[in-house]
Amino acid sequence: MKSIVISKPDKILKGSIQLPASKSISNRLLLIRALCGNDFKINNLSDAADTLLLQKLLETILQGKGKKKVTEIDTANAGTVMRFLTSFLSIQPGKWVLTGSERMKQRPIGILADAMKHLGASIEYLSKPGYPPLLINGGDLSGKEITIDPGVSSQFTTALLLIAPCLPKGLVIHLKGKSVSMPYAEMTIRLMQLFGAQVKLGKTRVHVQPGTYTPGEITVESDWSAAAFWYEAAVFAEVVDIELRGLLFDSLQGDAVLPAIYQNFGITTEFTDQGIRLTKTVKKIDGFYFDFTDFPDIAQAVISTCAGIGIRGRFEGVQSLQIKETDRLRAMKNEIEKLRVPVAFFGEGDWISALEIKPVKPVFPDGLTFETYGDHRMAMTLAPLAMKTRSLIIRNPDVVMKSYPDFWEHLKSVGFNIQKNNL
């Protein structure tokens, strides 16, 4: 579909939603299973496009393993898949060209690729140095110790961690500088430990002992980052009583910080046997400040929340959003300013470290059109604003397939009207 028209005739948010399985957990488990060498059952595996793609590519890699002919591995627009396979292919016998979409070719991979080369991997840049596509000659790695800057993406650290038990000498990773999205690396470590890996995490280094992964059945929990858009909608609603099933209190996911964040907006989270229940009380809030260094995937929803209710918002630690599926900071500025809400950036040069929105009453013209920039989180972030106006238009709504395929159907189930726009 080129676009959809969304409206919500009332300000009521009631119902029960089975949130999708965590894509982040699912993709890590697929790599652990592939490295394990023994199949095991993964219950509630994500059906997101990125996870389906990774499954398919792992099958392609299995077929191309050990062959002299080059096998092309196309990760499309899946950043996690690109990063994870950069390290994974480095230890798989064979010749591989790892590539992706045009946007993927603009997303840096040099920190990870150079770290792999330091460990003995054979990796060449086929175009611009530091960026995909890559030519990888897989084989044994000799190194056992590296230093990496975790300040660009935690996925670089995770990619190294996942293969570390399979290296002959294990791996010591020295973390130099401020980490971003560290809860994702911690999630990786906890999953690795569940499958027998010996990992010790310190303040500035991670030590992984050589060994093997042990197979074992596991069930994937629901995705906390997917809950962000429902929290946002709850703020815009007048009456709220909605159940989000599958979320855990003792979650592996850092984005389980959402209840604490949205308590500031009057949203109460009650944990149940099935997941969580959201209700709302009226609460006056003049402004909001938060550092999203560890939680970048939920930043857009919170930015949109503040813009939608017209309060000042200051959002620090958002630099990693510039190298996602799109430059999410500039994309958010473009779309939020359609509400006549001023957005300011702070940082050095082109590198933005903070975003601020002014406390201005937003304007919601009927039929406002939002662009999604090929980014699933842009579409899902902007959709709840339909509760603030008669209707709005979302361009290229199918981008939600990347992480939350049932998003539009779930909105319909709680009373949103969604129609295909033929214009």
| 151 and 272 part of one domain | no
Say which amino acid occupies 224: W
Range of the domain at 367: 3-20+222-420
Residues 356, 254 share a domain: yes
> Is residue 154 domain-shared with residue 210, that is, in the same domain?
yes
The pLDDT tens digits for 250-262 are 999 999 999 999 9
Q: Helices (H), strands (E): how many in the chain?
A: 12, 22
Q: For residue 423, name the pLDDT band (cuts at 50, 70, 90).
A: low
Structural domain count, the chain? 2
Calculate what percentage of the chain has a pLDDT beyond 90: 86
Domain end position, chosen among 176, 197, 219: 219
Is residue 53 very low, low, confident or very high in pLDDT (cuts 50, 70, 90)? very high
Residue 211 shares a structural domain with residue 309: no
Residue 297 is a catalytic residue: yes
What is the domain-level CATH number for residue 176? 3.65.10.10
Do residues 231 and 252 both lie within one domain? yes
Co-location of 245 and 377 in the same domain: yes
pLDDT given for residue 152 in this prediction = 72
Looking at 153, 186, 219, the residue that finishes a domain is 219
User: Cα separations (Å) of 229 from 95, 236, 264, 282, 305?
Assistant: 42, 11, 16, 19, 9
> Tell me: the pLDDT tens digits for 87-134?
999 999 999 999 999 999 999 999 999 999 999 999 999 999 999 999
Q: What is the pLDDT of residues 17-34, one digit of tens each?
A: 999 999 999 999 999 999
The verdict on 297 and 389 lying in the same domain is: yes
Angstrom distance (rounded) from CA 23 to CA 370: 25
Q: Does residue 15 share a domain with residue 64?
A: no
Same domain, 285 and 415: yes
The pTM (predicted TM-score) of the whole model is 0.93
For residue 309, the model assigns a pLDDT of 96
Q: Residue 87's closest CA among 9, 162, 4?
A: 162
Domain finish residue from 179, 199, 219: 219
Same domain membership, residue 366 and residue 387: yes
> Which is catalytic among the residues 50, 223, 294, 297?
297
Same domain for 193 and 165: yes
Q: Is it the case that residue 172 has pLDDT exceeding 70? A: yes
Give the integer Cα–Cα distance in Å for 127 and 233: 43
344-363 mean pLDDT = 91
Answer yes or no: do 257 and 365 share one domain: yes
